[in-house]
Structure 1
């Protein structure tokens, strides 16, 4: 089976500092793959390379068998890769519904100019209904009329996920999806992501510091340390690694 996403031999530097050194990973369709490691291990830089925000000096990135390593981020979104960020990016002055409607319009627009033309007229009833369906998927349909800026942090993260889902991705890149959430919000987010993966058969690649979240979601785990892969395998295999426990997990997760 062709992997949803495959990175091979990724090298990325900023000046004289090597941030990623020969990093490889593969995400199978319909599975959740977690990338973990200490602060400064290179996780966010890896996500920036995979999403097309920055380009690697060496190595390849393939999505569903196609080489996308030279394609910028907005092209990879159109290819089917959706991404969220550590700090939720929403339009606070717009309603929750309008945030998702805007994402749907962006998905349909052939160019920035055509998007602008679409935004100058009121969204159609069909588009608003589709936006409500997406909000229902993440449990925000009852907040549709509220300004996004008044949402609690966990709700803003769910709205950002809804906007990403509105782009109809076949794969999600989630950078610290639980960052800043309360324990209750984290539990709800784990249930939501498990449901999305199961019901939409979507591949998910995520970074996360909360190991209870990682072990509740991931089918496969890759561990980075100083920009290098030091372990990769099932959650049980990674938990059993003495090296991973030494540099990151400690012994409470053994």
Structure 2
């Protein structure tokens, strides 16, 4: 099989399971760190001609991460495209299994069993806290309804305040985010790279949790350690 991946988390999943199968990946596919394959542009602006020239047997994509016109162009060029939809942790298991099987995996990889077991063993949170979860600034955008990251946080006892918003990633003025007075402001390091010096200063008087965006938003091998890594960061922020 020759596979081109348009999704960083799927790139990591395929590379961990089927070394040598990837024939191309996006510029944002940073895992594994030693991945040496042709780069085909970004997730939102892939070079369709470059992908076609690579002659893959399969292109793997995601309904949220990638644009429908790009996927349609790849199909028009005669390439099979598998599109995933993952908006909850529970959806991740069958979708990852489906992708890896389509890429030629002879069976379910151990890391996927370990990841599912890690989330199944997660204890019921002793208490629940509220949060706002910015994913961008200038303008400020936050997690809204029906998101994978929102489900991850909910399983860890964090209820984000825009879960019922009509938009999945609404723009919300900073003043409104502050006025909501959440127990926590959760600041991931992707897609916007929030850091100790870029993000917390916008929320004076509020507790901020700097978390790994890979563990919060990726569905792949990172799901094995995500419960432990995220729970530790959230616990540290709450003191």
Q: TM-score, normalised by structure 2?
A: 0.27
TM-score normalised according to structure 1 size:
0.26
More strand by share: 1
